Copies of this chain bind each other. A is one copy, B any other.
Amino acid sequence: MRNLVILSFVFASASVASAQETPIQHDAEHYLLLEQHADKWAAEDSKISETLEEIRTAQNGKPPNIVYILLDDLGFGEIGMPDLDVIRGYSTPNISELADEGLSFMRMYTEPTCTPTRVAMMTGRYAVRTGTSEAKSVVSGDGLSAWETTIAEVLSQRGYENVHLGKWHLGDIEESFAFNQGFDYAEHPVHQQGQMAIMNADAELAGASAAIAPHLRTDTYELDAGFRVKPHSMVYGIIGEKGGTAREVNFEPGEVFTQEHYMHMEENYKNRVLEEIERLADGDKPFFLNYWPQLPITLTLGNIDQAQTLNGGPMAESIAMVDGWIGEILDKIDQVGIAENTIVIVMGDNGPFMQYRWRSGQNDRIYRGGKNQHLEGGVRVNAFMRWPAAIEGGSRVQDIVHVTDLFTTLSRLSDADQYIPRDRLIDGVDQSPLIFMGDTNGRRDYVFVYEGPTLRSIVKQQFKFHLPEPGANPIAAPVFDLYKDSREERVDTSQTIPLGVGYGGLFVDMMKRHLGWKMKYPDREPGRDVPYGGIENLRPETQELVNRFVFVRELMSR
């Protein structure tokens, strides 16, 4: 449906379809929309290609740099919305300023936990398709498969230099590490930060965890010396370069994790971001800097000298601090003179960890639910994007966007969409039209929401369908009108406006199309291997953990 000829002479500005004969392969639902809007979309796509070409020309042919900042466990209403300062008892002036200077995605959907959201952004695919839909907290010997193509790999092909700093959490096996997934250079912890922020003695003293600190227990009945969590045995943070080996840094044999280690690690990542911006700005290549702080997650008050917020909770204090860091990063981008053609995105990865909300300073917000839940509170986040060369400040769009769309859209904006693989299903759609033409020009009106490997709800337009219990009649399953019942509470149909006979059935049809399409593109297995491959300097206690893993694996294959 697109004209494959007229644009083919300008390779650099070629649209997806003109770059390769085979278009990007999407989920069934996409083709229902394409069928209705094909002509309009094709015309818009040509126009956008021209616009992108013009912007690049104005920038000496250079596609935009990308600085992607993904904050951990921050759901909708927690950053960049000054109207809510009085509720939260803290403010995020730097993120608010970024919002004023750029575009606010008011309806950004993520997956409900860290690993799935991060995989979805990196691959443009629901995590469930990649076998990494579970957020692991212990050594697992699996992770993002080498078969998957990340946004870093796509951008590499277009000549980008890619750096990753901060949280990663896409697996503890060699192929999953960032420098083996498209980044030229990476510094990252191997696991999630619970290992550092919650599973330490400071956090145990603060009542945020239990059975961590050896001095607070005896081992009288511990027949299995390997069962109990030994967070310090797990690898801390590693550094590596593309194609090379890795080494663990800043942690010595026999050391145990403390809050101080954690804060030091986080400050270091932030400082490295500032250094890398200077270095990368000096280079000839466009760059992709992926900064995923482990903060704001922190659960002890012990490291607060003097609270800076009215709220005073450890998470609230931490959010305010990280907002200050983002201010430093934005200042640095200004100082080195690259602001105009640098896309900066700041967003949360999923809702807050509600189990900790009573001690964290986070509170119950507009939407119900949080991390790990398919409810809006789990999968709706604030997301802001600044790109002065292309986006007018103070823009705001209410169309549905899914985190996978960043993969596709950033590839397009970077003139790299021709490198998106055509041999697999890509959930992300190209939202460039939304960015260039504004509200109502989005290309998605649906989201499938998984909790781990389980499809739990389907969003279409303003409606949300919660999948019924196994065996229940899906036609009677609750369908919520998110404008009239934002908290998805009115399950009792005597308390709700019945959504017209048929809505349940329409959602069942969507579910069947989505699951049926998996016959063409089956969900895949994750990569599997011995943990911590390619790390040169494993500590003895880490090697012991690996030995246990190998023993168990052999046991299970007997």
CA distance A362 to B490 in the complex (A): 13
Q: Decide: B86 and A361 in contact? CB cutoff 8 A.
A: no
CA distance A312 to B463 in the complex (A): 13
In the complex, the chain B residue whose C-beta lies closest to that of A494 is B358
> Which residues of B sit under 8 angstroms from A398, Cβ to Cβ?
85-86
A310 within 8 A of B: yes
**Which A350-382 residues have C-beta < 8 A from chain B?**
358-359, 361-367
Q: Decide: B87 and A462 in contact? CB cutoff 8 A.
A: no
**Which A131-171 residues have C-beta < 8 A from chain B?**
none
> Which residues of B sit under 8 angstroms from A88, Cβ to Cβ?
483
Q: Decide: B87 and A366 in contact? CB cutoff 8 A.
A: yes
Q: Decide: A311 and B484 in contact? CB cutoff 8 A.
A: yes
> Which residues of B sit under 8 angstroms from A361, Cβ to Cβ?
483-484
> Which residues of B sit under 8 angstroms from A81, Cβ to Cβ?
83
> Which residues of B sit under 8 angstroms from A484, Cβ to Cβ?
89, 311, 313, 358, 361-363
Q: Which of A84, A359, A363 has most chain B Cβ within 10 Å? A: A363
A396 within 8 A of B: yes
> Which residues of B sit under 8 angstroms from A497, Cβ to Cβ?
358-359
Q: Decide: B86 and A83 in contact? CB cutoff 8 A.
A: no
> Which residues of B sit under 8 angstroms from A90, Cβ to Cβ?
483
Q: Decide: A495 and B358 in contact? CB cutoff 8 A.
A: yes
Q: Decide: A490 and B358 in contact? CB cutoff 8 A.
A: yes
A42 within 8 A of B: no
CA distance A351 to B533 in the complex (A): 59
> Which residues of B sit under 8 angstroms from A365, Cβ to Cβ?
366, 486
From B107, B363, B487, B489, give the contact of A486 (CB < 8 A): B363
**Which A257-311 residues have C-beta < 8 A from chain B?**
310-311
Given A365-B366, A462-B89, A489-B364, do A483 and B84 touch, yes or no (CB 8 Å)?
no
CA distance A85 to B313 in the complex (A): 28
In the complex, the chain B residue whose C-beta lies closest to that of A81 is B83
In the complex, the chain B residue whose C-beta lies closest to that of A82 is B396
A316 within 8 A of B: yes
CA distance A363 to B363 in the complex (A): 19
A39 within 8 A of B: no
CA distance A312 to B77 in the complex (A): 24
Q: Decide: B483 and A364 in contact? CB cutoff 8 A.
A: no
From B310, B358, B359, B486, give the contact of A364 (CB < 8 A): B486
A544 within 8 A of B: no
Task: Flag A336-351 by CB within 8 Å of B: 1 or 0 each.
Answer: 0000000000000000
Q: Decide: B84 and A366 in contact? CB cutoff 8 A.
A: yes
Q: Decide: B483 and A358 in contact? CB cutoff 8 A.
A: no
CA distance A515 to B310 in the complex (A): 30
Q: Which of A85, A365, A486 has most chain B Cβ within 10 Å? A: A486
CB distance from A79 to the nearest CB of B (A): 11
**Which A513-546 residues have C-beta < 8 A from chain B?**
none
Given A82-B396, A89-B462, do A487 and B363 touch, yes or no (CB 8 Å)?
yes
CA distance A366 to B90 in the complex (A): 16
CB distance from A311 to the nearest CB of B (A): 4
A106 within 8 A of B: yes
- Selected A-B contacts with CB under 8 Å, 11 pairs: A82-B83, A83-B106, A87-B367, A89-B482, A90-B483, A310-B483, A358-B484, A358-B496, A361-B484, A363-B487, A364-B486
Listed in ascending order, the chain A residues whose CB lies under 8 Å from chain B are: 77, 81-90, 106-107, 310-313, 316, 358-359, 361-367, 396, 398, 462, 482-487, 489-490, 495-497
Q: With A89-B462, A310-B483, A311-B484 given, name 5 new contacts (CB 8 A).
A: A85-B106, A88-B483, A89-B482, A310-B462, A313-B484
